[in-house]
Amino acid sequence: MFEKVRDVIVEELDVDKENVSETSHIINDLDADSLDVVELVMALEETFDIKVDDDSVQSLRTVQDVVDYIEANQ
């Protein structure tokens, strides 16, 4: 699951695959701004056929948070 999430992050945030780990903070480490986060969430929703509600978006701080959320909601 991490690899698929990482691939979406690499595509959406235009970062190097080597810079994305489970502990990477989406905003602080991967330099995503609020628009990047919205676009990333939309791409994750499409890729994994899930819906991320607004309250949950706030809790998705690290790549591992994203993986855990997807696994719990698929």
Catalytic sites, residue numbers:
33
CB burial of 32-64 (b: ≥16 within 10 Å; e: otherwise) equals: beeebbeebbeebeeebeeebeeeeeeebebbe
Structure tokens at 42: 């939309």
